[in-house]
Amino acid sequence: MNTAVAAPPAAAVPPAAPARNPIGAHVPVAARGLAGTGLAYARRVGAETVQVFVANPRGWATPPGNPAQDEEFRTACAEQGIPAYVHAPYLINFGSDNAATRERSAASLRHSLLRGHAIGAAGVVLHTGSAVGTAPGGGSRRAEAMAQVRADVRPLLDELDALGDGAPLLLLEPTAGQGSSLCSRMEDLAAYLDALDAHPMVGVCLDTCHAFAAGHDLAVPGGVGAALDALVAAAGPDRLRLIHANDSEDAVGARKDRHANIGAGLIGAEPFRELFEHPATAGVPLVVETPDRKHGGDGTGHAMDIALLKELRERAAVPARALSG
C-alpha cells in the first residue's frame, strides 16, 4: 500500500467520553477543509459524530490530503469525542464486468482507507455494488461478481492489517436493491462477508432508507427489531458499526434510494426510537444524510433531524446489552 497520502497519527489524544449512540451528519468540507468547514458545520447542527468525503464522490480522482488539516481535524475529533467516518466514492463497484472500473475501484477505495487512517476515522463506508453485465452463457453475473469482490477487496483488507492500530474498519453498506445489487437485504450480508473470509476489519453500515427500499418494513410494529435481528443473524454480533439514519420518500420494497427528513417520509419517526432500543445498536453512531437544500442548504434540515433523533434517543429505553456492558 502506498502510504504517501496517509501520515500516521502524530500523538495519541485521550478521547472524550462518547455520547450514547452519537448522532451527527455527513458534513461538507469544501472551502476551509475538514476542520475549518466540516467541524464548524458539525457545531452548527449539533452533531456528535461526522461523516466526510475525502474525494469527489462522483469521480475517480485521489487527491492528497493536507497534513496540517488532517492533524487539526484528528486532534479536534479526539478531544471533543466526535467519531469520524469517511464515505468512499459512489463509482466504486467491484462487481463490474469492466476491468478498468475494477482497477479504478481498488485505487479509489485504497485512497479512502488511507485518508481515513490519516484523519483518524473509525471506518470507511463502501456501497456493496452490483453485478454489471451478463454471464458468458447469458443470465446473471452474480457468482462472477462475488468472486471479483473477493479477488479485489480481500488484498485491501490485508493492507489494512498492515497499518496497525488506528486503522479504519471497512464498513459494508447494503444498497436499496436497484439493478443487480450484490447486497441489499440483510441476509445478503452472509455471502458478502463469507467472500471476505469474515475478516475482522469488516463491519456493516446500515442505511435505514436502503433497508426499507429493499423490503424490510421498518414502519410496522416490530419491523426495526426484525431487520436488526436479520442483520445479526447474517453478519454476526458486533458487526454493525454505523447507521445512516434516513427516512424514505418511497414505499417499502420500492428499490428507490430517495432520502427524506426524519419523520417526514414513509418510515416515520417512531421506528428510529425503536432503533435505539435494540441490543445490536448499543453505542453505534447515527449519521443523517437527509435533504438539507429544501430547508435552505445551510444545515437547518440536518439540525432539525439531529434534534429529533436526540429527542427519540432520550425517550428510548437503554438496550439490555448497554446496561450490562
Band of residue 18 on the pLDDT scale cut at 50, 70, 90? low
pTM comes to 0.93
Q: Distance between CA atoms of 243 and 218, rounded to whole angstroms?
A: 14
- Indicate whether 137 pLDDT > 90: no
Residues 90-131: tens digit of each pLDDT: 999 999 999 999 999 999 999 999 999 999 999 999 999 999
Average pLDDT over residues 262-283: 97
Burial 213-249 (b: 16+ CB within 10 A, else e): bbbbbbbeeebbbebbebbbebbeeebbbbbbbbbbb
- pLDDT attached to residue 1: 56
- pLDDT attached to residue 300: 95
- Indicate whether 3 pLDDT > 70: no
Residues 141-162: tens digit of each pLDDT: 999 999 999 999 999 999 999 9
C-alpha triplet 200, 204, 207: angle, nearest 5°: 175
- Find the length of the chain: 325
Average pLDDT over the chain reads 93
